[in-house]
Amino acid sequence: MNPKVKIGDRLMLVYMEDELDLSTKDKGTVTSVTRDPFETDECYIIGVKWDNGSSLSLLSCKDVYRQIKENITENDEYINSRDEDQMDFLLQNRDLRKNFNRDLIFNYLDKVRESGVINMYEAPKFLYSGKDWIDRYYGENPLNQESFDEVLEMAEEVKSEIISGVFKSIKDLESDDDDEYFRNVERLVFKAANRLFTFWKLFY
């Protein structure tokens, strides 16, 4: 997803936050690639002549697209199946792109993996448990001490980001019963952590 492209490449839209006159799976041809002056990272504005007549540009750091071949062979079947899974996931979990700092969270999950302290299927709990809990239960002789130290340094920021993202995603979650309200928030935090882990696993 979101490979570097050049003029003439063919693209298919996977996700655009404000879709306007474009839809998922619309195809187009790259007409220009320029650095995005409003972003500090490696972000580009990609001019596209869409097959439906639109000339709406893609923002590489916000939108999601994939490069396509016009002639698909049997060897591409696995790749295409994975792309379909990625598209389905993005469409069903739009709030993850909008409300969470994915770069922070995915970098953190990379560090958790590098540290070697867990099977990665246990990783969602690292997203919301915080530094003290992680150090208490996993801090003795990690396989990669340097990466584990980075995990500890990032743990509180990531925990705050997960909780903040959940509150941004909450709509109509109000209750006269404070205990019920916070149980719902806790449940949503656990759910968001698992969805973000799935996002990371599918794309990175």
Check: CB of residue 64 under 8 Å from CB of residue 1: yes
Query: How many residues in total does the chain contain?
Result: 204
Check: CB of residue 44 under 8 Å from CB of residue 94: no
Residue 74 pLDDT > 50: no
**HSE of 84 in the Cβ direction (CA atoms, 13 Å)?**
6
Residue 189 and residue 110 share a domain: yes
Residue 106 and residue 14 share a domain: no
Q: Whole-prediction pTM value? A: 0.68
Q: Is residue 4 in a domain?
A: no
Query: What's the total number of domains in the chain?
Result: 2
Residues 117-168 pLDDT 10s: 999 999 999 999 999 999 999 999 999 999 999 999 999 999 999 999 998 8
Q: Is residue 158 in a domain?
A: yes
**HSE of 88 in the Cβ direction (CA atoms, 13 Å)?**
8
State which residues form the domain around 27: 10-69+77-90
Amino acid type, 78: Y
Residue 104 and residue 65 share a domain: no
And the tokens for 204? Answer: 């990175």
Report how far residue 183's alpha carbon sits from residue 191's, in angstroms, rounded to the nearest whole number.
12
Residues 29-71 pLDDT 10s: 999 999 988 876 778 999 999 999 999 999 888 888 888 886 5
Name 67's bridge partners. 11
